[in-house]
Amino acid sequence: MKRLKTLCGAVVLASTVVLTACGGSGTGSGVAQSGGDLVMARADEATSLLPSVPTDNASIWVIEEIYDTLTVPDQSGKSVRPSLATSWTQSSDKLSWTFHLRKDAKFTNGKTVTSADVKFSIEQNQKSDAPFSFIDTVVTAIDTPDPATVVFHTKKPWSPLPADMALYANSIVPNNYGGKSATEFAAHPIGSGPFKFASWSKGSSLKIVKNTKYWRKGTPHLDSVTFTTVPDSNTRATQLASNQIQINEYPSNSSIKTLKAQPNLTVSMFPSSEIDYMSMNVRRAPFNDVNVRKAISLAIDKKAILEAVYYGHGTLAGGFLSPTTWAHNESIKPVPHDVAAAKAALAKSSHPHGFTTTIMVGSGSQDSSSEAQLVQGDLAKIGIKVKIKTLDPSALSTAKHAGNYDMAFGLYTTDIVDPDEIARFAGTYDGGSNTLYSGYKNSKMDSLAATASSSSQQSERKAAYDQMQQIIADNVPYVPLFYVPGIYSYGKVKGFHPAATGNYFLEKVQLTK
């Protein structure tokens, strides 16, 4: 749930293959050059550069450029590859993982990255006030037998650990923050990543410069990157058109066609784990009736919403795990729009003649507002009268967490490449969101999630995740609507290709002439 705001655009593809095929490669026209300052305009500003603190993408994607993690997600988002750790193995009793660190990685203060730094860093994210502490609670102890070896002991057999170690919140900082307080360190962060922190003018821009001693030789190509904060999508688009910036994060849907028509600009859509959904509160009548939920799912014309709101840039969702994860269940197809079947389902329910309900949308999101109106129209056809209630995003989030709503839109993304995090978040009651705020409780889902995370056989894990997706599809506590990729428009840039988890990998990016 890194994304706090609804994406302006949504270009969605059916599978990773299709996504890659249809999406841009991040290769702009022109000859790649070495050096230069890349300016990227983003809608939101970073909030903190201390890895264990923020939850917003604006911070996360900068943190990933400044710090290293033990592992990193690969481009497809299906697995992890070595980073600070060159290899890792699980013990024969499955209760510990040993990571071997590379010996040539140094922090920008010149100190070598050691196992003591790793231990300290992970322990920071284990503190109860760290928002992503839940990822590391499975780790019971961390041993550092030598400076290049770290051993994580886990409560139970835990397959997702290598993927967990690629999480931004598990970025490696110097032991004891290099003798600074956390606040002092956050103001002048030190990492071992491809770029190092240079300056931050709050509200305006954040600059990172090339780490000339980066262990991965030959990168980065850029001299520096400047992230500017430009909330208005039109302003970002005009800045790009006037070559004031090189990359526009999240162009609005409505601008994509125009942007594509401009010869010097590229619009690219990258595979993302984002799924947009509509949740129903099963704790309340009539949503406690599965026939009502099925009727609603059948009555919504998702394709029409996709065309009208997202300008056709998207793919209808089936299973609740994104096609960017290997655990995606391809056999679950999107629920078709079928008014007759919806009426039949409603007729079997406790409210055969319909009822009146509300749908909550976040203020400031034109997309959500339009979606709500279309849903309102669709449900009216089967006798369900929907009132639209608009709330501030913060108030909406609180209402959803408190279970104080009937229906609401939302989106989720995964933070790690292993399906475990999102399978629990969107599939189990105790996974953080009470099954995407629906309040749907099913002990079978908990045991399947537990089986999947403890097994080291991918086929066994996949079977469990397939079953979880089928249970959600059968019981419809929420309607997965669309699989949504990340959209960027850019000018003279080559090699820009974010991962499914959002990592920019800016060390690979070059400006072109």
Partner 1 sequence: MLRWFARRLLLAIPVVWGVVTISFFMMHLAPGDPARTALGEKASDASVAALRHQWGLDQSMPLQYLNYLKQLVHGDLGTSVYYHAPITSLMAQRLPVTIILVVLSAILTMLIAVPLASRSATHPNGLAAVAVRLFNAVVQGAPTFFIGAMLILFLGVRIAIFPAGGYPADIGGRAWALVLPALTIALGTVPIMVRGLRAAMIESYGSEYVAFARSKGLPERPIRYGYVLRNAGISGVSILGIQVGALASGALVIEQVFAIPGMGSMLMTGILNRDYALVQACTLVFGLLVVVVYLGTDLAYARLDPRARLS
Q: Helix, strand, coil % (nearest 5) of the chain? A: 30, 25, 45
Could you tell me the two tokens for 486? 């990340």
Question: Using the rule CB under 8 A, is 133 a contact of partner 1?
Answer: yes
Calculate the dihedral angle through the C-alpha atoms of 401, 403, 405, 408, rounding to the nearest 10 degrees. Answer: 50
| Cα radius of gyration (the chain) | 23
DSSP strand pairing (139-146 vs 96-101): unpaired
Rounded Cα distance, 398 and 396, in Å: 5
Q: Enter the tokens of residue 319.
A: 């299973």
What distance in Å separates the CA atoms of residue 475 and residue 296, rounded to the nearest whole number? 12
- Which run of H or E residues covers position 437? none
Q: Shortest Cβ distance from residue 463 to partner 1 (Å)?
A: 26
Touching partner 1, residues 65-124 (CB under 8 A)? none
- Kindly state whether residue 467 participates in binding partner 1, applying the rule CB under 8 A: no
The residue within the footprint of partner 1, chosen from 143, 232, 307, 330 (CB under 8 A), is: 232
Q: Which residues fall within 8 angstroms of residue 240, CB to CB, at 6 or more apart?
A: 41, 246, 247, 248, 259, 265, 489, 490, 491
Q: How far is the CB of 230 from partner 1 (least distance, A)?
A: 4
Element spanning 275, H or E = strand 266-280
Distance from C-alpha of 42 to C-alpha of 204, rounded to nearest angstrom: 11
Stretch of 201-209, 216-224, 296-304, 505-513 contacting partner 1, by CB under 8 A: 201-209
241 is an interface residue for partner 1 by CB under 8 A: yes
Judged by beta carbon, residue 19 or residue 138, the one nearer partner 1 is: 138
Residue 261 touches partner 1, criterion: CB under 8 A: no
| Residue at 269: amino acid letter | M
**Which CB sits closer to partner 1, 332 or 416?**
416
Q: Is 235 in the site for partner 1 (CB under 8 A)?
A: yes
Per-residue x/- track, 395-424, partner 1 (CB under 8 A):
x-xxx-x----------x--x---------
Binding mask 343-382 for partner 1 (x = CB under 8 A): ---------------------x------------------
188 scored as a contact of partner 1 (CB under 8 A): no
Taking CB under 8 A as the rule, does residue 432 contact partner 1? yes
Q: Taking CB under 8 A as the criterion, which residues in 42-61 touch partner 1? A: 45, 47-48, 50, 53, 55-56
Q: How far apart are CA 255 and CA 326, in angstroms?
A: 32
Q: Which stretch binds partner 1 (CB under 8 A): 235-243, 320-328, 475-483, 498-506?
A: 235-243
Give the binding site for partner 1 (CB under 8 A). 1, 4, 41, 45, 47-48, 50, 53, 55-56, 128-134, 186, 199, 201-205, 228-232, 234-236, 238-239, 241-242, 244-245, 364, 391-395, 397-399, 401, 412, 415, 425, 432-433
